[in-house]
Structure 1
């Protein structure tokens, strides 16, 4: 989870160039929750908030920017015990390719023949 938070911050910095002016910058970090927001005048808009739920972090966030070819891009996500999940994306994320037959057969074999240890 710490890697994901650091990645999101680095993405915001990477999208921001040296000429971008900060329109909004907010950070609040507590022991069991945090909030982060950054809006730049070059269309970058990043928000993220997280809270400790028992022993597990639950992080929600959104990122938006305009690509170099002028296409608006936005992503809303959730990261928790189930991993990183994209809730919405514009443009939509591509559909992953199907699992090849030989991999599917291997997975079925492994499930049918569990380790004896």
Structure 2
């Protein structure tokens, strides 16, 4: 399954960059871990590695490229039992909007009045 995901990502990238030449393409897929790296001559650089930790996968990676405006863009991330989390990004990711007041009041009410199952 993980090989198919990695292959699909690489295929999508290759289709989006038809004129890009491959400078580096490495992949190692094992039962409990995998890693791959792809570097194209149009500044795209992708590295990812994952390992099975107990029953959960932990995947770490980074993607970088140069935007059409000539700005360097990079993202480092981890994906685990807590979901996909950006560790660093250049340019920085935008700040999410604040939680609406009505939702904040509802969350406070739920915390103050736990259900019978949570007591």
Residue in structure 1 matched with residue 110 of structure 2 by the alignment: 110
Residue in structure 2 matched with residue 63 of structure 1 by the alignment: 63
- The alpha carbon displacement at 1:15 in A equals 8.1
Secondary structure in structure 2 of the residue aligned to 1:103: helix
Q: Where does structure 2 lack aligned partners over 5 or more consecutive residues?
A: none
CA RMSD in angstroms comes to 2.2
CA distance in 1, matches of 2:15, 2:28: 22
- The alpha carbon displacement at 1:14 in A equals 6.5
In our comparison, the structure showing a higher alpha carbon Rg is 2
Secondary structure in structure 2 of the residue aligned to 1:92: coil
Residue in structure 2 matched with residue 46 of structure 1 by the alignment: 46
- The alpha carbon displacement at 1:82 in A equals 1.2
Query: How many residues of Structure 1 are paired with residues of Structure 2 in the alignment?
Result: 113
- The alpha carbon displacement at 1:110 in A equals 2.4
Q: Give 4+ residue runs of structure 1 displaced > 6 Å after superposition.
A: none
- The alpha carbon displacement at 1:114 in A equals 3.5
How high is the TM-score relative to the length of structure 2?
0.84
How high is the TM-score relative to the length of structure 1?
0.85
**Structure with more relative contact order (C-alpha pairs < 8 Å, separation 6 or more):** 1
